[in-house]
Structure 1
């Protein structure tokens, strides 16, 4: 029994020694790994430049992608804005359309021309008021006004007796309009020659 106990003790001692050696070996390996990590790896100038170029290329691609996304988003927003830009105007014009429909129905039974005229004048005033609220302004083209090619379109010329009217507007064929400060329709005028 003593031999068995001694053998077991010997085995345990050997196992302890092996475990101790393995632990020491692991600690040595870890220490070597830490030393390897701590030691800076010397790169050649070419390798450093290659890394810098790769980083710059990556940064460039990311910025380019962000810009492309921004451009697409902006274009989409512009298209959406254009599609709905006139939405407010259309909503404001619907009551005028309703007035025209009511006037048509009322005119079928109406025999008094003056009442019909008055109804259409009211509708016209309402329409013009709505458009003026949205920035549409009538262009002034009174007789004797100087001709301005940036505002007027000369349809024809007529000889005039008065020298003061030569080169000036003598009649307006079609009215011109501004939207804000921009000309949306040139006034078609007759000029004195």
Structure 2
């Protein structure tokens, strides 16, 4: 069979195969306008879809910002539990120094403990640990101090700190342990 006869036979057997889809070149705006005209000219489905898309984008941005904030906070306070566990060591060094004050026989021992405490405290401070103020006569602040009792001290105003029982500490501005204090109350 010749090529022309093959073409004619193919055309007779499949007339629908001859109709190839026409390509239309439209811009994005023309396609949107055509879609609005043909699909749903009276409704606002497209606007609702755009609103949903914008809300989803806003939610995604909010999640990204929250995760970044949480990650930064996690980095900032990652050592909090370790530092909190080391505070009793610092307390015991303070107690050893307090009890050894004035003992001439322990002078070299006291010097060694003071040096150890200073190095230990300097190391903790490099990691963001700071002591909470709780001096005698200072103002009592329930956000920084824990009142463990009342005392009667001459020369100290009512409601102020009469004595610090245990030092408090903060980590990079966040209270790690409140200072335990006795609050002054003059007898009435």
TM-score with structure 2 setting the length: 0.51
Q: Partner of 1:167 in structure 2?
A: 159
SS class of match (1:19): helix
Q: 1:165 and 1:31, CA in 2 relative to 1: closer, same or farther beyond 3 A?
A: same
After superposition, the C-alpha distances for 1:131-153 in whole angstroms (9 at most, x for unaligned) are 11111111222211121111111
Distance in 1 of aligned mates of 2:4 and 2:173: 98
Structure label with greater radius of gyration: 1
Aligned residues: 138
Distance in 1 of aligned mates of 2:146 and 2:158: 16
Q: Partner of 1:139 in structure 2?
A: 132
SS class of match (1:120): helix
Distance in 1 of aligned mates of 2:120 and 2:160: 31
Check whether the contact 2:11–2:18 (CA below 8 A) recurs between aligned residues: no
Greater shift, 165-174 or 126-135, is seen at 165-174
The CA deviation at 1:20 is 5.0
Moved over 6 A (4+): none
Check whether the contact 1:160–1:166 (CA below 8 A) recurs between aligned residues: no
Gaps of 5+ in 2: 25-37, 87-104
Q: 1:19 and 1:168, CA in 2 relative to 1: closer, same or farther beyond 3 A?
A: closer
Q: Partner of 2:178 in structure 1?
A: 186
Q: Which has the higher contact order (CA 8 A, sep 6+)?
A: 2
The CA deviation at 1:161 is 4.2
Report the RMSD for the aligned CA atoms in angstroms. Answer: 4.6
Distance in 2 of aligned mates of 1:28 and 1:156: 102
Distance in 2 of aligned mates of 1:192 and 1:34: 94
Q: 1:26 and 1:158, CA in 2 relative to 1: closer, same or farther beyond 3 A?
A: same
Greater share of helix: 1
Distance in 2 of aligned mates of 1:17 and 1:154: 107
Gaps of 5+ in 1: 1-11, 94-111
Q: 1:166 and 1:21, CA in 2 relative to 1: closer, same or farther beyond 3 A?
A: closer
Check whether the contact 2:128–2:172 (CA below 8 A) recurs between aligned residues: yes
TM-score with structure 1 setting the length: 0.50
